[in-house]
Amino acid sequence: MQKMRITLLVATLGCFLIACGGSRFQMTPTHMEEVAAGKPISNTLIIVVVDDQEIRSIFENHFKKWLAAKGVEAIISIEVLPVQKGTQLEKSAIAEVIDRYENDSVLITHLVGFDEAEVFSRGEPEVYRTYYGFYRYSWGYSRWPVIISENVQFTLETCLYDTKSESLLWAGESQLTNPETTGKAIGKVVEAVMKELEKNELLPKTS
């Protein structure tokens, strides 16, 4: 398996800034496997790691709709990998779904941190080497925050993996400050991820 390369890009060159009143959103790509550029995915499994199953459903379905519009077939984990609150998915269960639906990729999103002055600290590079290693790392951050106050900031991370090699293709970090609602926060994250995947030609070209 090709050695994974995590490259932190200069934020001013690789981020989206969306301002609306007191809210702010920033998307920063943190990794792109050069050999994968121009090789679009066609069938992906979406896994949002959050213990709130309603949030999980909304998030995954939002990704699914965007991917469908881009010509990518998508399977959402909440429909094929149901879990009880506090229960972690086993690798064998994920692998069985990948085999059954012939997924060529896995898209995983999780909440990294939530605080009024959150300092984002990336995990060790080893946790990114395989999709299940990243999923297990993500499980430690599965609590979704309740947006009830101002001056709050939380960070999410999204990674796209190839299922055959289990290697990382793309990764990005989304940072939200004072999001108005959970729904708007999810919408901004998904839209920004799709734009990055499209920019790197990881999505099929549409006429």
Q: What pLDDT, on a 0 to 100 scale, did the predictor assign at position 194?
A: 94
Strands 105-115, 168-177: pairing is unpaired
pLDDT tens for residues 110-168? 887 655 444 334 455 566 778 887 787 776 655 555 555 556 677 889 999 999 999 99
Angle at which helices 131-138 and 91-101 cross, to 10°: 130
How many whole angstroms from its chain centre is CA 3?
Answer: 21
Q: What pLDDT, on a 0 to 100 scale, did the predictor assign at position 120?
A: 39
**Averaged over 1-5, what is the pLDDT?**
35
Cα–Cα distance for residue pair 107/170, rounded to 1 Å: 9
Q: What pLDDT, on a 0 to 100 scale, did the predictor assign at position 174?
A: 87
- Ordered domains of the chain (ranges, CATH): 11-199 (3.30.160)
Q: What pLDDT, on a 0 to 100 scale, did the predictor assign at position 97?
A: 97
When computed from its CA atoms, the radius of gyration of the chain, rounded to whole angstroms, is 16
Distinct helix (H) and strand (E) counts, the chain? 5, 7
The Cα angle at residue 176 between residues 170 and 179, in degrees rounded to 5: 140
Q: What is the pTM of this model?
A: 0.77
Residue 3 and residue 35 in contact, taking contact as beta carbons nearer than 8 Å: no
Q: What pLDDT, on a 0 to 100 scale, did the predictor assign at position 85?
A: 74
Q: What pLDDT, on a 0 to 100 scale, did the predictor assign at position 35?
A: 80
Tokens read off for 198: 């499209």
Task: Return all residues near 68 (Cβ < 8 A) that are at least 6 apart.
Answer: 74
Q: What pLDDT, on a 0 to 100 scale, did the predictor assign at position 145?
A: 52
Q: Is 30 helix (H, G, I), strand (E, B) or coil?
A: strand
Q: What pLDDT, on a 0 to 100 scale, did the predictor assign at position 82?
A: 85
**Averaged over 169-192, what is the pLDDT?**
85
How many whole angstroms from its chain centre is CA 164?
Answer: 19
Higher pLDDT, 135 or 45: 45
Q: At 184, is the pLDDT very low, low, confident or very high (cuts 50, 70, 90)? A: confident
Q: What pLDDT, on a 0 to 100 scale, did the predictor assign at position 11?
A: 27
Residue 103 and residue 45 in contact, taking contact as beta carbons nearer than 8 Å: yes
pLDDT tens for residues 56-107? 999 999 999 999 999 999 999 999 998 877 788 899 999 999 999 999 999 9
Q: What pLDDT, on a 0 to 100 scale, did the predictor assign at position 100?
A: 97
DSSP string across 91-131: HHHHHHHHHHHT-SEEEEEEEEEEETT-------GGGGSSH
Q: What pLDDT, on a 0 to 100 scale, did the predictor assign at position 171?
A: 93
Q: What pLDDT, on a 0 to 100 scale, did the predictor assign at position 14?
A: 32
Q: What pLDDT, on a 0 to 100 scale, did the predictor assign at position 155?
A: 82
Cα–Cα distance for residue pair 44/76, rounded to 1 Å: 9
